[in-house]
Structure 1
């Protein structure tokens, strides 16, 4: 089903903006929410604290609806990295298994936790860019306490099969970096123990706020090792002896005050997303990314395409131009008003549901001219 125009009208990114895998263009509601909070922070202090607390709780509730868990299993984090660090230092020993192909945000938390002696870290190769359940099964053993991976590969756009990976992970916690899919693709916490996603990419909320969702068994196993003053019972009761006990739910992982403006922006982004079906959003995203792939292939480019079926695809398409360097092709596209990413000899194009249907063809025309 096509997305309603009333939804699409809430986004006004330029025609050539297709870089949501980097820093997504903020939505109109997100910018309005940010501005409202900024105005409040410049005005009456009497109304500010209740407003902040309301936005935090509302955002938690909206985030819980997006990923399908109770509100008490969701908390807010300033970034994907912050959420993963809280999890990495919350594990009580054992081995964490991580693919070698992960973006550094999902590697350094485990490296630092291993350096601190809290866990052992094991990485494994991903031939051809296909992160399959079979590869995970070969990497885990009886001492594995967590498997940490990305729902969508930041380079290729390959979307892994989380239910299949859950089946082979055994009793280990399944920790998912969902930043390259949440807001563009369907996501379910079923079988997932931890989901972390910053709001600055496909959620279109700008930087500074994201979601951390945890399963009941993750709450039982993870220690609140990095918990700060807001992650405890009665945080404002400073007359009581310290430290206070940690909260029961996901808020036990809160370290301290976050960005109030970022939370307000994320709140409106999530509210907007919940006005439509994620199936329809995903269908629109995949239609745009397929069109980008078709145009790239038509120009003679070599496309990184580890997927074999639609549910392994995402909004990301990466390719090498046919007859010129990626730097030269990138420069030409930027001159023509396109926003994308160039990295390691590849161009990465990442359209969203609101990307103009004609934008992929326009990219193809420029690629064809530079490939002659």
Structure 2
């Protein structure tokens, strides 16, 4: 995707390392650094800087909507995916007779708000088999009581990419009262978002989008605006925040806009605006075309070394992540670090992630260091 010169120019901190840990933390391009400096300049102007702040929010909303395939009023921002899911729980306001389907490949942010409700709905666990979620196993879990099916388009845990169309068809047929919420954090900016018909999309901003911490993108199509309007207090998401009747009623903006309850994290949105425009300028399809073959090379190289990836690699469902478990994972991780190969290590699991800024040499450097 990048020539040696443009890679050195845009990502100078990648020099001398094989960075395969984007699924945890991305390396932002210098354009993001420049955007943060712009935020600082605007912030240094005090109240007058707010013109720049709010302009950056709207610019970020525009590029986010474009990349999500939504209209600008269908996109909003909050501080992180955990906040977004708790706000989603407030919008749904489920009770003890309702059911929420979650998966064992989901990040905790999407799976735990339902457990913490004052009156929690029943959480139903869709379990993976051999690292994959099979729609056949979902079917008996769905019913008229199902109000939400929460999935990740790409799993943070093992890189499994869900088979979207059969999932959507099953939910619409067997759980007519259910919404489908999809966490796109491990896909947004890396692979095409083939999740048409999702009722709400949620993504953190510091991974494949190449942004920084403190942001989250929420996409709610207009058809769901009334149903997915939060019940949170605040001010930024209110139509009458400073009107004469503000102590008598709170009039909330609908849908996605209701998730922005307080002052935006402007710094994160300056950064995300620059990051997404960088990614869009390259093109997600170009990123995938470049990086997907490297993922396959990495996957096949692990197999040749007797290391079993945690889920099959599906050519029709590209992903940026390959994971494996090993009893000597700490030792393997230390060896990789010594070879200047940066990966994620947690509880016996090694996770490697390939983005558009990676080179074939990064993958080969990692495989050469994997002496088991």
TM-score for the superposition, normalised by structure 1: 0.91
Q: 1:179 to 1:49 in 2, by over 3 A?
A: same
Partner of 2:317 in structure 1?
312
Q: Does 1:250 align with 2:244?
A: no
**Residue pair 2:149, 2:179 contacting (<8 A) in 1 also:** yes
Cα distance in 1 for residues equivalent to 2:357 and 2:209: 12
Greater mean deviation of Cα atoms: 184-193 or 146-155: 184-193
Shift of 1:61: 1.1
Cα distance in 2 for residues equivalent to 1:143 and 1:278: 38
Shift of 1:310: 1.1
Cα distance in 1 for residues equivalent to 2:109 and 2:340: 29
Q: 1:88 to 1:248 in 2, by over 3 A?
A: closer
Shift of 1:222: 2.3
Q: Which runs of 5+ in 1 are unaligned?
A: none
Q: 1:40 to 1:205 in 2, by over 3 A?
A: same
Q: Does 1:213 align with 2:219?
A: yes
Q: Which runs of 5+ in 2 are unaligned?
A: none
**Residue pair 2:229, 2:255 contacting (<8 A) in 1 also:** no
Cα distance in 2 for residues equivalent to 1:227 and 1:292: 47
1:279 to 282, 285, 290: 285
Q: 1:148 to 1:73 in 2, by over 3 A?
A: same
Shift of 1:57: 1.0
Shift of 1:96: 1.2
Cα distance in 1 for residues equivalent to 2:158 and 2:334: 21
Cα distance in 1 for residues equivalent to 2:279 and 2:266: 20
Q: Does 1:355 align with 2:358?
A: yes
**Residue pair 2:126, 2:133 contacting (<8 A) in 1 also:** no
2:137 to 131, 135, 138: 135
**Residue pair 1:99, 1:123 contacting (<8 A) in 2 also:** yes
Cα distance in 1 for residues equivalent to 2:32 and 2:141: 41
Q: Does 1:336 align with 2:339?
A: yes
Cα distance in 1 for residues equivalent to 2:91 and 2:295: 37
Cα distance in 2 for residues equivalent to 1:225 and 1:25: 36
Cα distance in 1 for residues equivalent to 2:3 and 2:73: 32
Q: Secondary structure at the match of 2:334?
A: helix
Q: 1:118 to 1:60 in 2, by over 3 A?
A: farther
Q: Does 1:100 align with 2:111?
A: no
Shift of 1:7: 7.3
Partner of 1:196 in structure 2?
202
Q: 1:244 to 1:6 in 2, by over 3 A?
A: farther
Cα distance in 2 for residues equivalent to 1:211 and 1:282: 21
Shift of 1:136: 2.4
Equivalent runs, 1:261-272 vs 2, <5 Å: 261-272=267-278
For residues 116-171 of structure 1, the C-alpha deviation after alignment (integer angstroms, 9 at most, x for no partner) is 11633222322212113222222111111110011111121110022221111123
Partner of 2:154 in structure 1?
152
Equivalent runs, 1:25-174 vs 2, <5 Å: 25-41=27-43, 43-93=44-94, 94-113=98-117, 116-117=118-119, 119-170=121-172, 171=176, 172-174=178-180
**Residue pair 1:227, 1:253 contacting (<8 A) in 2 also:** no
Superposition CA RMSD, Å: 2.1
